Chains A and B, each alone.
Chain A
Amino acid sequence: MTSEAPIIRGMGHSVKRKEDPRFLRGKGHYIDDFKLPGMLYMDIVRSPYAHARIVNIDASKALALPGVLAVITGKDLDAAGLAWMPTLMSDKQMVLPVDRVVYQSQEVAAVIATERYIAADAITLVEVEYEPLPPVMDPHKATDPDAPLVRPDRDAKTNHIWHWEAGDAARTDEVFQNAEVVVKQDLYIPRIHVCSIETCGCIASYDKIDGKLTVYMTTQAPHAIRTVFSLVSGIPEHKIRIISPDIGGGFGGKVPVYPGYVIATVASLQTGLPVKWIEDRSENLQADSFARDYHISAELAAKKDGTMQALRVKTLADHGAFDAAANPSKFPAGLFSIITGSYDLQAAHVEVDGVYTNKPSGGVAYRCSFRVTEAVHTIERLVDTLALALSLDPADVRMKNFIPPEAFPYKSPTGWEYDSGNYPAALQKAMAKIDYAGLRREQAEKRARGELMGIGISTFTEIVGAGPSHTFDILGIKMFDSCEIRVHPTGSAIVRIGVQTQGQGHETTFAQIVAEELGLPVENITVEHGDTDTAPYGLGTYASRSTPTAGAATAVAARKIRDKAKKIAGHLLEVSPDDLEWQDHKFQVKGAPGRSVTMKDIAFAAYTNFPQDVEAGLEAVDYYDPPNLTFPFGAYICVVDIDRGTGMVKIRRFVAVDDCGNIINPMIVDGQIHGGLTMGMAPALLEAITYDEYGNIQQSNLMDYLLPTAMETPVWETDKTVTPSPHHPLGAKGVGESATVGAPPAIANAVVDALSHLGVTHLDIPITPWKVYQILEAHGAAEA
């Protein structure tokens, strides 16, 4: 018996995305595309004040509007014990306020109506009487003795939330005391917004007959949401179904539970009808959880020859009015302790203090693997600060201080064990590709002519794939992830995964993993996710964890199937399974490659002709608990030219060499990096959310909040090195966030490099034309 090996297109193939035909033809199904019979609509009354007491809510005029069925307030929810809900960070958060609002645009009441337009009209008729209170807007003043209390509901009468630290303070101080050189830099990583193209929304649909609640929801973590909903509402978990359909961008902003989801659910429970709630753009920008907002003070101890020795960091984290970040429970500051980066330091000590302010919840991980962006920006700016102070080339300083390739697995001074890396190779590749030496010569010539050109490097280390159950959980649920595979008799398969795609291409890449492991053509494999009634339990997609966790589960589940398939193959080939080997995507008899069976043959036999001692069918489930995190890395080099007349920074070239271990689909990885670089360029040059002293957000629409378009986006040049993860079943590491994390400091470093001869040593992001122009003018370098 012999069989031709089929064309598989598994690992390493640029398979076109299976999801794209429906997206490109406008046939995706996003929340707002769903219309259920009898569906009602909800709209939300929001607070104009950042801090105020609610004196009275008069809904009579709204209720008088034909088509309005109900106006729900905090007092209504309070009666049902639902005015507050738990956050993912052991804090609690108002669903609707009973007596006070704590940030601008906070939900105050909800209108339920038969038509969307009626609901929108009715919210303008709800009269809310407020008594304004002084808001806390500056986190540096949040813990002043006379600061107003943001959260009087807490037992602790302070705006300080928590203190967190990592590393060895005494050892670090000792190195600093004996250091030849100490450089210090304060950095502010501004508040930014995820601003996914699809805003948040849901349809809650409670069936009063069978007592089942189905919620269609824009969520990155449907299973965890189901459990939380059950715990909070008391509805048995098997009577709750969360469906996360096509998601128009998540990036971390769709991990938290927003009040709108809960209010819509309450409205459906009361009416027995489906209730739809969709945010508009301004609501999304003003009220959903924010990212970053770290005020960092960092010091680096070094020798005069540029050898880095120790790092000391103090940070003030502005978490807004509720600590509703979506970090693993034991990590209130996320994985910020990756801050020693790619460098071999003797010691490090990192501290973060979280405070409340009268702003919406902060701390959401916006495509940054839990605070890694802030960490990478800090260390990569500091390396350049050191190089500048010592008049050394920043590339040389990096090469001198890299963790050497032979030192892996490497134990970092803040306690992480880096799995694998080859940092010099990545930087060398980037320098060769961009002609670093040539650029430095060009820069010297241009500077002599008065032209402003800068070169910036970022050699970052990421930390992704949360995470091992001994350390990582969210609300106690361990951060494993899962996969279930069923192979059908004719050799096709359905794969269900615990993670949830929001554009990453899971329907393609997870099919490729199964194709590779089982020897089935990728087009014969369907991937499903996002429906808690059918998919196995998992913690969802964020922090670049899908490939390291569910990707591993998929490989392991497929290997379980292959183990069983081997027994069936032995039966079909009439040899002992021990005499078989898996070669070229089929089982063949050792030493007799002419005798082989494909997985398609085996699948048919699994239902029609299986051996007596083997169960029928061909399926497997795996819940994968990763032994460690994975540590992707990269070397980015950015070249900027600065217009002396306008202060405009133009990215002339940007070379990104990424190493995410073994690659499942190079085209998708490239796409992830292109998107990530653009989302890294945005906060470096364009984006920031600010507030006036009264708590008014200054960027509540896309005219004021500048998202990059094709006009602002340069041509990205990507390349790669491949250093497999030694502990991941596929040797893969995860890539979704590498570029967002690595790009901002490369750009900031390039701008500082362009202006360093004027005495500029640092610029906080976003580096806007106005900021640069003021510097040029102050130094007489501006063009009239």
Chain B
Amino acid sequence: MQFTGTQQINAPAQKVWDFMLDPNMVASCAPGFQSMEILAPDHFKPTVAVGVGAVKAKFTLDVQLEDVRPPDHAGVRGRGNAVGSAVELHGAMDLTPVSDTETTMNWTADVIVNGVIASVGARLLEGTAQKLTARFFDCFRQKLEAPETPAASEAPATPSTPDASDTGNT
């Protein structure tokens, strides 16, 4: 599945960059996020619960940042397994400052899903992916556009609410 999108964010580019390069910040908005092991600043192992239709799966991912070119480009590559399913993803983002307080983010994602999630959830997969993406960016924008809260990025990411994994099948 190929996805591309553009986000207009009412926040300076550096703030967006800092958010996206901080695994705890990204995790705090990732739907279904459960826990994470940080192996290196650019290498993480998050556990994420995903539901596609009637199928629920808990993926353990191995994620590596790549092609990181501050202040405007970063890529990510990941692979993960759940019982009977597997996922591979490759993503990239480019930031363009529009003004001191506005940033445009162009992003792409290439996701390959194999196994039960893909076969049982086939008809719902793309819709679910779009919904999860939308949910991530809603949270992302909310956090970035909110007034400054001190030390947000130092707090470890906490598992998102249970309903975050209850997706699809609408």
Contact = CB atoms under 8 A, between A and B. Distances in A.
A65 to B, nearest CB: 14
B118 A130 contact: no
Contacts of A132: 86, 88, 114
Q: Is the interface of A mostly helix, strand, loop or mixed?
A: loop
A784 B83 CA distance: 45
Interface in B109-149: 112-116, 118-120, 122-123
Interface in A664-719: 692, 694-698, 700-701, 704
Contacts of A282: 120
A499 interface: no
B119 to A, nearest CB: 4
A48 B85 contact: yes
A46 B83 CA distance: 10
A697 B119 contact: yes
Contacts of A701: 120
A46 B120 CA distance: 15
B41 interface: no
A48 to B, nearest CB: 3
A104 B112 contact: no
Contacts of B113: 694, 696
Given A48-B116, A49-B115, A50-B114, A696 B122 contact: yes
A49 B83 CA distance: 12
Contacts of B83: 124
A692 B122 contact: yes
Contact of B115 (A48, A698, A704): A48
A87 interface: no
A694 B117 CA distance: 13
A695 B122 CA distance: 12
A46 B84 contact: yes
Interface string B83-122: 1111010000000000000000000000011111011101
A282 B122 CA distance: 14
Interface string B56-91: 000000000000000000000000010111101000
A310 to B, nearest CB: 43
A695 B123 CA distance: 15
Nearest to B82: A48
Contact of A698 (B86, B116, B122): B122
A187 B120 CA distance: 28
B115 A104 contact: yes
Interface in A86-118: 104
B45 to A, nearest CB: 14
Interface in B37-53: none
A268 interface: no
A282 B123 CA distance: 16
Contacts of A46: 84
Nearest to A50: B114
A327 interface: no
Contacts, number: 48
Nearest to B120: A700
B120 A694 contact: no
A102 to B, nearest CB: 14
Contacts of A48: 81, 84-86, 114-116, 118
Interface residues of A, number: 20
A696 B123 contact: no
Given A49-B114, A104-B114, A700 B86 contact: no
Contact of A130 (B86, B112, B120, B123): B86
A381 to B, nearest CB: 30
Contacts of A286: 119
Contact of A694 (B81, B112, B116): B112
Contacts of A49: 86, 114-115
Interface string A32-54: 00000000000000111110000
B84 A696 contact: no
A124 B60 CA distance: 14
A71 to B, nearest CB: 15
A704 B114 contact: no
Contacts of A697: 119
B119 A698 contact: yes
Contacts of A50: 114
B134 to A, nearest CB: 23
Contacts of B115: 47-49, 104, 696
Contacts of A698: 119, 122
A700 B114 contact: no
Chain B CB within 10 Å, residue with most, of A46, A48, A697, A700:
A48
Nearest to B87: A48
Contacts of A700: 116, 119-120
Interface string B134-170: 0000000000000000000000000000000000000
A763 to B, nearest CB: 23
Contacts of B85: 48
Given A48-B85, A696-B113, A704 B118 contact: no
Interface string A347-364: 000000000000000000
A50 B119 CA distance: 12
B123 A704 contact: yes
A697 B113 CA distance: 12
B57 to A, nearest CB: 10
A283 to B, nearest CB: 11
B118 A692 contact: yes
A700 B55 CA distance: 12
A704 B113 CA distance: 18
A124 to B, nearest CB: 4
Contact of A696 (B81, B88, B119): B119
A704 B85 CA distance: 18
Chain A CB within 10 Å, residue with most, of B112, B114, B120, B123:
B114
Contact of B118 (A47, A124, A696): A696
Contacts of A695: 114
Interface string A439-450: 000000000000
Contacts of B119: 104, 286, 696-698, 700
Nearest to B83: A124
A697 B114 CA distance: 9
A104 B112 CA distance: 14
Contacts of B112: 694
A225 to B, nearest CB: 30
A631 to B, nearest CB: 41
Contacts of B122: 692, 696, 698, 704
B130 to A, nearest CB: 17
A121 to B, nearest CB: 10
B115 to A, nearest CB: 3
Nearest to A129: B81
Give the 6 A-B residue pairs with the shortest CB-CB distance, closest first.
A48-B115, A696-B118, A700-B119, A124-B83, A48-B114, A48-B86
17 contacts: A48-B114, A48-B115, A48-B118, A104-B115, A104-B119, A124-B83, A124-B84, A692-B118, A694-B112, A694-B114, A694-B118, A696-B114, A696-B115, A697-B119, A700-B120, A701-B120, A704-B120
Given A48-B81, A48-B84, A694-B118, 15 more contacts: A46-B84, A48-B115, A48-B116, A48-B118, A50-B114, A104-B114, A124-B83, A132-B86, A282-B120, A695-B114, A696-B114, A696-B118, A696-B119, A698-B119, A698-B122
